[in-house]
């Protein structure tokens, strides 16, 4: 497995020049370590060099050494921190950077704000790697992500994440739904469709 660089790791040892290689470099700003790890592995399999951060200070630290071509930013970070500040900082570092914002609490107002701050698209969680890559290809203001290449079953990334959180919570559906940012009944229906008890 490729090495995943985090803001807490030694940046000097992993630093690379800001050149063409940075174009396939992806920054994941997500405070849920398990979800970030799952997403990172999925993007690594697609040939991206993945960096991770969980807060604005970590994003700022990474930007001193790297200028990724892509970023995936969770809207709601730990505490009351907002991913919008990270979007603003990333866009200021590179206007060419393609930024997709993920959220479990989608609203039109925050979607508009994210795009104004520099995001190219805004996706509701759970979104898989295909959705995110498709969103990178959209221009600001486009609303549709091409979903024709998805598998017919639940999206792989979503399903992996659901299983991961279910295991963490001892298969407590209410707590799993809360952690995933979805309604309990929605999660129950997804599990029922997959015949998971």
CATH of residue 165's domain is 1.10.10.60
Structure confidence at residue 143 (pLDDT) = 45
How many domains in the chain?
A: 2
- Domain assignment present for 9: no
My answer on whether 46 and 101 are in the same domain is: yes
> Does 148 reside within a domain?
no
Same domain, 27 and 77: yes
- Domain holding 114, by residue range, is 19-137
Q: Please check whether residue 127 lies inside any domain of the structure.
A: yes
The predicted structure's pLDDT at residue 153: 33
Residue 151's contacts (CB-CB under 8 Å, 6 or more residues apart) are none
CA separation for the pair 89, 164 (Å, rounded): 31
Residue 128 belongs to some domain of the structure? yes
Residue 5 lies in a domain: no
Residues 123 and 52 occupy one common structural domain: yes
Backbone phi, then psi, for 100, in 5-degree steps? -115, 130
Residue 121 pLDDT = 87
Q: Are residues 83 and 164 in the same domain?
A: no
**pLDDT at residue 152, as a whole number:** 32
Helix axes 173-180, 184-193, angle to 10 degrees: 110
According to the model, what pLDDT value does residue 195 have?
57
Q: Is residue 68 part of a domain?
A: yes
Asked whether residue 38 is assigned to any structural domain, the reply reads: yes
pLDDT of 162 = 80
- Model confidence, pTM: 0.62
Whether 92 maps to a domain, the answer reads: yes
The pLDDT averaged over each successive group of 10 residues in the chain (197 residues) is 43 41 82 89 93 94 94 85 90 94 76 86 83 76 43 51 79 89 88 63
């Amino acid at each position: 497995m490729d090495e995943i660089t985090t803001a807490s790791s030694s940046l000097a040892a992993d630093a690379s020049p800001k050149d063409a290689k940075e174009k396939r470099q992806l920054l994941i700003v997500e405070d849920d370590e398990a979800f970030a790890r799952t997403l990172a592995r999925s993007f690594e399999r697609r040939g991206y060099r993945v960096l991770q951060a969980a807060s604005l200070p970590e994003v700022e630290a990474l930007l001193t050494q790297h200028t990724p071509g892509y970023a995936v930013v969770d809207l709601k970070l730990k505490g009351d921190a907002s991913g919008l500040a990270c979007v603003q900082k990333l866009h200021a570092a590179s206007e060419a950077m393609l930024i997709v914002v993920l959220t479990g609490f989608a609203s039109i107002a925050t979607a508009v704000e994210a795009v104004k701050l520099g995001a190219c698209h805004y996706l509701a969680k759970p979104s898989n790697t295909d959705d995110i890559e498709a969103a990178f290809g959209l221009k600001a203001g486009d609303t549709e992500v091409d979903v024709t290449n998805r598998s017919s079953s639940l999206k792989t990334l979503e399903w992996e994440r659901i299983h991961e959180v279910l295991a963490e919570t001892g298969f407590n559906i209410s707590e799993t739904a809360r952690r995933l940012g979805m309604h309990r009944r929605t999660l129950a229906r997804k599990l029922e469709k997959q015949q998971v008890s």
